[in-house]
């Protein structure tokens, strides 16, 4: 198997406020391989955005990656100094965000922002950058690119703004794209267009994509492998078809049981869904224990060892470990 492009190993991230500290990520490990779409799926509070921000080293001041490493091109990103990290950010790893308009400079025309990225990352002259910026906007599916290049972000729709960010990303030719809920807040017909565009660009440039989402439909249609994150812990990781057809962690199983499908009606059965309760970040064992229907003694005591069910399928659950022995 090819060497992974990015490998996150036993990552722990603590966020402290004036009185307490909480690990919002604990023992998070996964990798992204060359030319693949890897999904990171989780609900709010799962730490999926924090994982992306840790990789990009764009963490808020109160957050600290206290354990683990993030291997990328032979280096540990957590140990790079700020100027080396700046070389990685944008040129090698680029990120698109949930709220595209907030990620753009409101005072600068869209084309100018793409041109700046070209000047910064590819060393083009201003005139050449401006010409190519329009080209990239067109490549990102913006019709009428010349006039859109002159628009300010507030004059763009959410879908257009996301296309501008994608154009900026194209300018950098990164090896890894991180997309954090890139279509949340966009209309579903626009979402479909954006995902088609992202997949197209990914296939064309051979970049890898780490896609962060809460939407299992998106995971199913876009990703090859997926890691399921709950309360800062990886619960299960598997190839997509494997995860949907043979979910092995109770959380995954219940998450799939919570889905309302648009293409079929089923009797709504909350007994197969995740129980109503708040996330228990303080449990030293499995953080899903307080909502798990099969909870064991051990779940309150220690984190389960990984159990490999197949080459790419790993689950962290005492139940599976007991069943297996």
Q: Which of 219, 292, 317, 319 binds another protein (CB under 8 A)?
A: 219
DSSP state, residue 79 = G
Q: For residue 164, what are its two tokens?
A: 């501008």
Q: Does 312 bind another protein (CB under 8 A)?
A: no
Q: Which of 59, 63, 151, 190 binds another protein (CB under 8 A)?
A: 190
Distance of alpha carbon 209 from alpha carbon 222, whole angstroms: 10
> Which position has the token pair 């722990």?
12
Pick the stretch among 26-34, 185-193, 294-302, 316-324 that binds another protein (CB under 8 A): 185-193
- Least gap, CB of 159 to another protein (angstroms): 6
Distance of alpha carbon 267 from alpha carbon 247, whole angstroms: 21
Q: Does 189 bind another protein (CB under 8 A)?
A: yes
Q: Does 203 bind another protein (CB under 8 A)?
A: no
Q: Does 215 bind another protein (CB under 8 A)?
A: yes
Q: Which of 102, 203, 241, 310 binds another protein (CB under 8 A)?
A: 241
Closest CB to another protein among residues 68, 159: 159
Number of Cβ within 10 Å of residue 260's Cβ equals 9
Spatial contact of 225 and 38, defined as CB atoms under 8 Å apart: yes
Q: Does 280 bind another protein (CB under 8 A)?
A: no
Q: Which of 187, 138, 188 is nearest to 163 (CA)?
A: 138
Q: Which of 19, 61, 188, 311 binds another protein (CB under 8 A)?
A: 188
Distance of alpha carbon 44 from alpha carbon 42, whole angstroms: 7
List the interface residues with another protein, window 37-56 (CB under 8 A): 43-44
Pick the stretch among 50-58, 189-197, 201-209, 298-306 that binds another protein (CB under 8 A): 189-197
Whole-Å CA distances, 268 to 94, 140, 294: 40, 40, 21
Number of residues that bind another protein (CB under 8 A): 44
Give the DSSP per-residue string, 257-316.
Answer: HTPPPSS------GGGS--S----TT-SS-TTGGG-TT--GGGGTSPPPEEEEETTEEEE
Could you tell me which residues come within 8 angstroms of residue 81 by beta carbon, excluding any fewer than 6 positions away? Answer: none
Beta strands in the chain (DSSP E): 6-16, 21-32, 37-41, 63-72, 75-76, 93-96, 176-180, 208-213, 225-230, 233-239, 306-310, 313-316
Could you tell me which residues come within 8 angstroms of residue 16 by beta carbon, excluding any fewer than 6 positions away? Answer: 22, 62, 64
Q: Which of 105, 147, 155, 270 binds another protein (CB under 8 A)?
A: 270
List the interface residues with another protein, window 114-173 (CB under 8 A): 143, 157, 159-160
Pick the stretch among 73-81, 97-105, 266-274, 281-289 that binds another protein (CB under 8 A): 266-274
- Least gap, CB of 235 to another protein (angstroms): 13
- Least gap, CB of 225 to another protein (angstroms): 12
- Least gap, CB of 286 to another protein (angstroms): 17
Distance of alpha carbon 184 from alpha carbon 158, whole angstroms: 10
List the interface residues with another protein, window 57-116 (CB under 8 A): none
- Least gap, CB of 121 to another protein (angstroms): 29
> Three-class SS of residue 183?
coil
Q: Which of 49, 193, 205, 283 binds another protein (CB under 8 A)?
A: 193
Closest CB to another protein among residues 72, 180: 180
Q: Which of 254, 287, 307, 318 binds another protein (CB under 8 A)?
A: 254
Which residues are at the interface with another protein (CB under 8 A)?
Answer: 43-44, 143, 157, 159-160, 187-193, 195-196, 214-222, 240-241, 244-245, 254-256, 258-263, 265, 268, 270, 273-274, 276, 278
């Amino acid at each position: 198997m090819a060497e992974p492009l990015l490998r996150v190993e036993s990552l722990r991230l603590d966020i402290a406020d004036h009185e307490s500290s909480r690990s919002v990520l604990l023992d998070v490990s996964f990798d992204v391989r060359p030319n693949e779409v890897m999904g990171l799926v989780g609900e709010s509070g799962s730490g999926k955005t924090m994982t992306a921000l840790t990789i990009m080293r764009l963490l808020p001041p109160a957050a600290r990656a206290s354990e683990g490493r993030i291997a990328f091109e032979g280096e540990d990103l957590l140990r790079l100094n700020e100027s080396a990290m700046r070389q990685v950010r944008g040129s090698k790893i680029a990120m698109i965000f949930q709220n595209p308009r907030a990620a753009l400079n409101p005072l600068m025309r869209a084309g100018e922002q793409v041109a700046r990225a070209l000047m910064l990352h590819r060393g083009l002259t201003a005139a050449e950058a401006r010409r190519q910026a329009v080209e990239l906007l067109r490549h990102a599916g913006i019709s009428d690119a010349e006039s859109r290049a002159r628009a300010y972000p507030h004059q763009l729709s959410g879908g257009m703004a996301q296309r501008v960010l994608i154009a900026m990303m194209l300018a950098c030719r990164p090896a890894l794209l991180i997309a954090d809920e890139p279509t949340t807040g966009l209309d579903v017909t626009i979402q479909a267009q954006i995902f088609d565009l992202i997949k197209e660009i990914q296939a064309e440039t051979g970049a890898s994509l780490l896609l962060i989402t809460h939407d299992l439909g998106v995971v199913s249609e876009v990703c090859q492998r997926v890691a399921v994150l709950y309360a800062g812990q990886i619960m299960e990781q598997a190839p997509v078809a494997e995860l949907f057809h043979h979910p092995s962690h109770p959380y995954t199983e219940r998450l799939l049981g919570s889905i309302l499908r648009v293409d079929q009606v089923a009797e709504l059965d909350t007994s197969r869904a995740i129980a109503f309760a708040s996330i228990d970040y303080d449990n030293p064992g499995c953080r899903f224990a307080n909502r798990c229907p099969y909870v064991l003694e051990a779940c309150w005591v220690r984190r389960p060892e990984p159990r490999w069910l197949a080459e790419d399928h790993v689950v962290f659950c005492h139940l599976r470990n007991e069943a297996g022995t």
